[in-house]
């Protein structure tokens, strides 16, 4: 990636991350009692991380089907509570084998 593009993107990411962490402290002076607001702020980091990661996963390979199969494998293993290394390796192997199968079929 070119530095002329990297550094502005890095600055934007830093600002967005800082604002999301600082905003609750500025808006809410007291302890948050509302369960909905608490839940919103608990799930916000996961939603942002997913929104940044899933497009990168789907466009990491030249074949959208193999990327989707790898994502599905990762989601299933993560749902079952497997650790990160197992999830990453299984998703990578799923993408690799499905790419090899599709290359053989075509």
Q: How confident is the model at residue 1 (pLDDT cuts 50, 70, 90)?
A: low
Distance CA 8, CA 13 (A): 9
Mean pLDDT, residues 62-90 taken together: 94
Domain ranges of the chain: 1-60, 61-106
- Phi-psi map region of 42: left, alpha, beta (phi>0 left; psi -120 to 50 alpha): alpha
**What Rg value do the Cα atoms of the chain yield, rounded?**
19
Q: How confident is the model at residue 26 (pLDDT cuts 50, 70, 90)?
A: confident
């Amino acid at each position: 990636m070119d530095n002329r593009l990297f550094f502005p993107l890095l600055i934007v990411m830093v600002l967005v991350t800082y604002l999301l962490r600082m905003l609750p402290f500025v808006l809410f002076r007291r302890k948050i009692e509302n369960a909905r607001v608490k839940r919103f702020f608990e799930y916000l980091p996961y939603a942002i991380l997913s929104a940044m990661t899933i497009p990168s996963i789907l466009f990491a390979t030249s074949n959208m089907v193999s990327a989707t199969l790898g994502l599905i494998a990762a989601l299933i293993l993560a749902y079952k509570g497997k650790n990160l290394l197992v999830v990453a390796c299984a998703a990578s192997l799923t993408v690799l084998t499905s790419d090899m199968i599709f290359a053989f079929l075509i």
